[in-house]
Structure 1
C-alpha cells in the first residue's frame, strides 16, 4: 500500500456518507447496502460487522468475500478520473464503490447499477421457439 490516506479511512466513517447522499435523492440505506454487497460479496451480516468493527477501507476490501465478476463493466468518471483507468487495485475498488453509489443517487435503475446481463434488452413477452 503506497500510503493513500483514503486507504486508512474506516468503512464505518464512509458508509453513513453514502447513505446520506442516497437518501437526499430519495434512495434508501437498503439500496446503498445492496450495491456494496453486489460489489464486494459481503452478506448483510458481514457488511454490518465491517461497519461495527471499524475496519479501514484497505481491510474492508482485503476481507471482501468476492469482488463481483462484472466489476469491469463499471466505467465512468469519479473525482475527475476514469475508474477503468486507475492503476492501483485498491483505489480502483474504492472508486468503483463511489461510482455505484453515485449512480444510485442519480436515480439509475438498480438493474443498470448492478450491471445485470441484458438488462437493457429484457423483454416482458415470453420468447417463442
Structure 2
C-alpha cells in the first residue's frame, strides 16, 4: 500500500501489558505450565529488536491473512488513524512461533512487507 512508512510511525516502543497473558494463553496450548512461565518471563526481559515483516511471515510458515480479515483490517485502520501497534512476541523454532501479534504482523505486511516490525524474540 505504501512504502514511506517507518517502524516509528506504526509501533509502540514496548509490548503492551495485556500481550504477555495473551502469549501465555497461546503457549499453554503447546507447552507445559513451567515452560509457559519461563518463556513469558524471558519475553518480558528481552530487548525489543526489529525484523522485517516478510521475514517473520516466512519464518513462521503461517499463511498471510487477507487484508479484509476483521482483525487485520482493524490493525490497518488503527495505523491509518495514527494509533500505534504493540510489538510482537516471538519464540524461536522451526517454524518460528508468533505467540502474540499474528494479526499485527499480517497488517504490517499488507502495509509494506519490507517494514521493520519491533519484536521480542526468545528461544524456548
| TM-score category of the 2 structures, normalised to the smaller one | 0.3 to 0.5
- TM value normalised by structure 1: 0.32
The higher radius of gyration belongs to: 1
- TM value normalised by structure 2: 0.32
Looking at secondary structure, tell me which structure has more helix per residue. 1
